[in-house]
């Protein structure tokens, strides 16, 4: 079997175009477009790249986009003040704080300061709690993007065994909750899991969210499984996933590429969350 591609790039483009159209028509009514502010602290080159991609995507969709770059030497109080200013800003519907923050800063304190109704990254404890309780709230863009990608390609989730490798608050844990809500049976693996292969081999849907290039090879994967690769690592000049694409595509039924899979979906979902915040705020 040669796997079919879960083409996140193509789907994300469609979602972004739809959002651009909707934003253009509503902007005239509201008197302004949806607005996203991104806070970037320090000089981390990967973070700079991610933030600039999000900023560009906003601009292409006709959203208002503010990129706030702060020096790594800024104090925690100054960041909190900036977040509070954005909480009050009338032109801003969504706020994202690019992680990781420089060492020594209290990420939780910063994330908790973002107003929950502007928390389009879904990292505020209130939104995480709503996800846990199965209530409506902002869901982190990457796990939301994984779910949308599978849904749009008609991959059935109910009753399936989903194995997620990685248990971060950004990807693995929220994805496990979303999969449970979609009636999957979920196993979550992590760095202390013994005999990883024994678990991944059982997966109908396998999601890798680790950040170790090529960790998942063909002998981790059951024939016909759906494989979603969230991981991204720089190897030389190339971006590599956690999945060894060339070997795994021979046994899987569906597979995401890296790049062009989950990454573009993350950006599309961030825009969608921002648009939703705008709609709610303006009672549209
Ligand atoms: P993270 O916070 O570092 O979490 C990594 C997870 O992988 C942890 O739960 C860790 O276990 C687990 N792990 C590490 N080594 C392992 C191993 N050998 N076997 C099994 N599990 C192992 O990372 P993250 O923020 O979730 O991101 C994960 C990856 O996704 C990264 O490559 C990141 O760049 C990428 N990412 C991509 C997107 C996108 O849009 N494409 C978005 C977000 C993240 P412990 O908990 O035991 O430490």
- Fold identical between 31-116 and 141-263? yes
Kindly report the protein residue whose alpha carbon is nearest to atom 19 of ligand 1.
191
Q: What is the pLDDT of residue 162?
A: 99
Are the C-beta atoms of 53 and 22 separated by less than 8 Å? no
The full 3-state SS of 35-78, as one line of letters, equals EEEEEEECCCHHHHHHHHHHHHHHHHCCCEEEEEEECCCCCHHH
- Find out whether the peptide bond into 134 is cis, omega within 30 degrees of 0: no
Measure CA of the first residue to CA of the last residue in the chain; give whole Å. Answer: 47
Q: How far is the CA of 14 from the centre of ligand 1 (A)?
A: 28
Residue 189: pLDDT band (50, 70, 90) is: very high
Do you know the residue count of the chain?
Answer: 284
Looking from the CA of residue 192, the nearest atom of ligand 1 is 47
Q: What is the mean pLDDT of residues 201-228?
A: 98
The residues annotated as belonging to the active site are 54, 98, 121
pLDDT value of position 129: 98
**What percent of the chain has a predicted confidence (pLDDT) above 90?**
99
| pLDDT for position 49 | 92
Using CA atoms in the order 241, 244, 249, 252, what is the torsion angle rounded to 10 degrees? -90
The Cβ of residue 29 has, within 10 Å, a number of other Cβ atoms equal to 8
Q: What pLDDT, in 10s, does the model give residues 107-154?
A: 999 999 999 999 999 999 999 999 999 999 999 999 999 999 999 999
State the distance from the centre of ligand 1 to the C-alpha of 208, rounded, in angstroms.
8
For 255, the enclosing helix (H) or strand (E) is strand 254-255
In the predicted model, is pLDDT for residue 205 greater than 90? yes
> How confident is the model over 90-117, as pLDDT tens digits?
999 999 999 999 999 999 999 999 999 9
pLDDT of residue 238 exceeding 80, the answer is: yes
Distance CA 227, CA 4 (A): 10
3-class secondary-structure state, position 118: helix
For a pocket test of ligand 1, which of 8, 191, 196, 256 has the largest count of ligand atoms closer than 8 A to its C-beta? 191
60-82 pLDDT, tens per residue?
999 999 999 999 999 999 999 99
Give the CATH class of 31-116. alpha beta
Residues 171-186: what's their mean pLDDT? 98
CATH among 3.40.50.720, 2.40.40.20, 3.40.50.300, 3.30.470.20 for 141-263: 3.40.50.720
Mutate to test the pocket of ligand 1, among 122, 207, 210 (most ligand atoms within 8 A of CB): 210
Rounded distance between C-alpha atoms, residue 174 and residue 178, angstroms: 6
Asked whether residue 21 carries a pLDDT value surpassing 90, the answer given is yes
> What integer best gives the mean pLDDT of the chain?
97
d(CA 230, ligand 1 centre) in Å: 8
What pLDDT is stored for residue 227 in this prediction? 98
Which residues line ligand 1 at a C-beta cut-off of 6 Å? 142, 165-168, 170-172, 189-193, 196, 209-212, 215, 230-233, 262-263, 266
Q: Domain-by-domain residue ranges, the chain? A: 31-116, 141-263
In this structure, which residue's CA is closest to atom 4 in ligand 1?
A: 168
| Residues contacting 188, CB < 8 A, separation 6+ | 163, 164, 166, 167, 172, 173, 176
Report how far ligand 1's centroid is from the alpha carbon of 231 (Å).
7
pLDDT surpasses 90 at 1: no
């Amino acid at each position: 079997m040669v796997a079919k591609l879960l083409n996140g790039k193509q789907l994300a483009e469609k979602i972004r175009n739809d959002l651009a159209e909707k934003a253009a028509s509503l902007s005239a009514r509201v008197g302004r477009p949806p607005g996203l502010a991104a806070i970037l602290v320090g000089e981390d080159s990967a973070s700079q790249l991610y933030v600039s991609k999000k900023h560009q995507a906003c601009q292409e969709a006709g959203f208002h986009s503010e990129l706030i770059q702060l020096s790594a030497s800024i104090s925690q109080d100054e960041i909190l003040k900036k977040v509070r200013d954005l909480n009050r800003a009338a032109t801003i519907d969504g706020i994202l704080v690019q992680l990781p923050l420089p060492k020594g800063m209290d990420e939780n304190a910063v994330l908790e300061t973002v107003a929950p109704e502007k928390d389009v990254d879904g990292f505020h404890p209130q939104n995480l709690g709503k996800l846990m309780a199965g209530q409506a709230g902002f869901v982190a863009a990457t796990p939301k993007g994984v779910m949308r990608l599978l849904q749009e390609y008609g991959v059935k989730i109910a009753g399936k065994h989903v194995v997620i490798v990685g248990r971060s608050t950004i990807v693995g844990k929220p994805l496990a909750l979303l999969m449970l809500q979609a009636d999957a049976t979920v196993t979550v693996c992590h760095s202390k899991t013994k005999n990883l292969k024994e678990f991944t081999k059982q997966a109908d849907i396998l999601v890798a969210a680790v950040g170790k290039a090529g960790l998942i090879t063909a002998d981790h994967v059951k024939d016909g499984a759906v494989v979603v690769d969230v991981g991204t690592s720089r190897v030389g000049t190339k971006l590599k996933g956690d999945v060894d694409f060339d070997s795994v595509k021979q046994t899987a039924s569906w597979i995401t590429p890296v790049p062009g899979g989950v990454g573009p979906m993350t950006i599309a979902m961030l825009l969608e969350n921002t648009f939703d915040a705008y709609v709610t705020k303006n009672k549209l």
